[in-house]
Amino acid sequence: MSIRRSLYEGFKNVHNKLHNVKTTSDFQTTGRLTPKEFVEAGDELVQKNPVWQWVGGPESVQDYLPKEKKCIVYRGAPCTERAPVDSTNASPEAVDEDDFVLTEATQVALPATALEEEKVLTWDEDDDDSGEEDVVATATDNSNLRVYDVYIVYDKYYQTPRMYLVGYASDHVTPLSMGQMKEDVYRSNYGKTVTIDPHPVLSIPCISIHPCRHAETMRSLMHRMQENYNREKANDPNAEPFVFPTHLALLLFLKFISTVLPTIQYDVSSGFHLV
């Protein structure tokens, strides 16, 4: 870590110790969340998409969050290809107003881990409890497959969600080195919006997507949604004012953050689109 970065992280730590957590609810206008709103949005994400689960931690870590709800994790998000390393291999890209390099990657449905045999339990109203199982063979030859545990943590300083990712080989046991994890980061983002940082709850090195522009980006997206809504309802005198539901904040977060690391497939939400 550079001296400049160390000083910056030290400043944030001192700031967090001296200042109380955010308590004012103003997500619609600022894109920032209170810890209470983060927990409510996390509960909604876990309910809508059960692949996400709450992770607990010591009460002394992020003591403004419940002991059993320190962060949210999706274990085993597939990563089927390495990030482009030069412009000749890159997907179409654009740099948004928040300095993120945005790319498009093909989303491929894959199992979280590669297994020689996968036991699939099927049942219907006519099934009995005999315990018989249908065994389905699955393909295993995917040398490019890696998997990531994806964590969403509340960042007190920026008052937004922050994403951390821990990489593994396809067996979901062998950890990737920092060099290998860098291979899954778009080069234009690494060292700027994407860095290697210790996990605030687990204290292990992770890919981290820096949250300095998260609030601004989410506010911009909500403003865009509001403009579209106002156009659609322009001739409706009974239309209600546009208000983005705060409990859906993490769905919005995942939609925009999935463009930063497009080869890691952690956005599993459905029926929710950025417009």
Q: What share of the chain is helix, strand, coil (3-state, %, to 5)?
A: 25, 20, 55
What integer pLDDT is reported at residue 156 of this predicted model?
95
Catalytic site includes residue 71? no
- Out of 34-43, 98-107, 236-245, 246-255, give the one with best mean pLDDT: 34-43
Phi-psi region of 33 (alpha: psi -120 to 50; beta: other; left: phi over 0): beta
Strands (E), 104-177: 117-120, 134-137, 146-155, 160-169
User: pLDDT digit string (tens) for 199-235?
Assistant: 988 888 888 998 989 999 999 999 999 999 999 999 9
Q: Looking at residue 228, what is its pLDDT?
A: 94
**In sequence order, which ranges of the chain are alpha helices (DSSP H)?**
3-18, 27-30, 35-48, 178-182, 214-232, 249-257
Write out the H or E segment, with its range, that includes residue 79: strand 71-79
- The H or E element containing residue 260 is none
Catalytic residue among 71, 79, 206, 212: 212
Other Cβ atoms less than 10 A from the Cβ of 165: the count is 23
Cα distance between residue 122 and residue 16, in whole Å = 50
Is residue 194 very low, low, confident or very high in pLDDT (cuts 50, 70, 90)?
confident
pLDDT at 18: 66
